[in-house]
Amino acid sequence: MVMRGGFGEPYCSQECYDNGGKYASAVMLKNQTGVCGFCQKPVQASMYGASTCAIVPYEGVNLFICNSCSAKGKAYLRDYRKCCKCQKSV
């Protein structure tokens, strides 16, 4: 059974889905900075402040998706065929 997160990213199980969500929240809480995985624009993750991106766990790294690339990110993740947390095929 495939479960999908807020960006349409696939998870193979409830456990991976929960872990993926926890992981993304932890990154947001730490106000991490990074670059958008689609356009390389610098982004700032934030749970309560002015966040300029979303975070998706992806192949063991944080995939930052800036606000202007969210449609592109969703389209990409919809076609991704592996669990975003454990890389199992889904």
Length of the chain: 90
State how far Cα 35 lies from the chain centre: 13
Piece of the chain touching Zn ion by CB under 5 A; list 1-9, 20-28, 44-52, 61-69: 61-69
57: which 2 tokens? 């766990």
Task: Using alpha carbons, list the distances in angstroms from residue 7 to 42, 76.
Answer: 19, 9
Instruction: Rank residues 42 and 49 by Cβ distance to Zn ion and give the closer one.
Output: 42
| Nearest distance in Å: CB 83, Zn ion | 3
Task: Please choose, out of 8-16, 18-26, 55-63, 74-82, the segment that lies near Zn ion by the rule CB under 5 A.
Answer: 8-16
Among 5, 7, 16, 27, binds Zn ion (CB under 5 A): 16
Residues sharing a CB contact under 8 Å with residue 71, sequence separation 6 or more, in sequence order:
none
Query: Which residue matches tokens 């998870």?
Result: 11
Binding mask 18-37 for Zn ion (x = CB under 5 A): ------------------x-
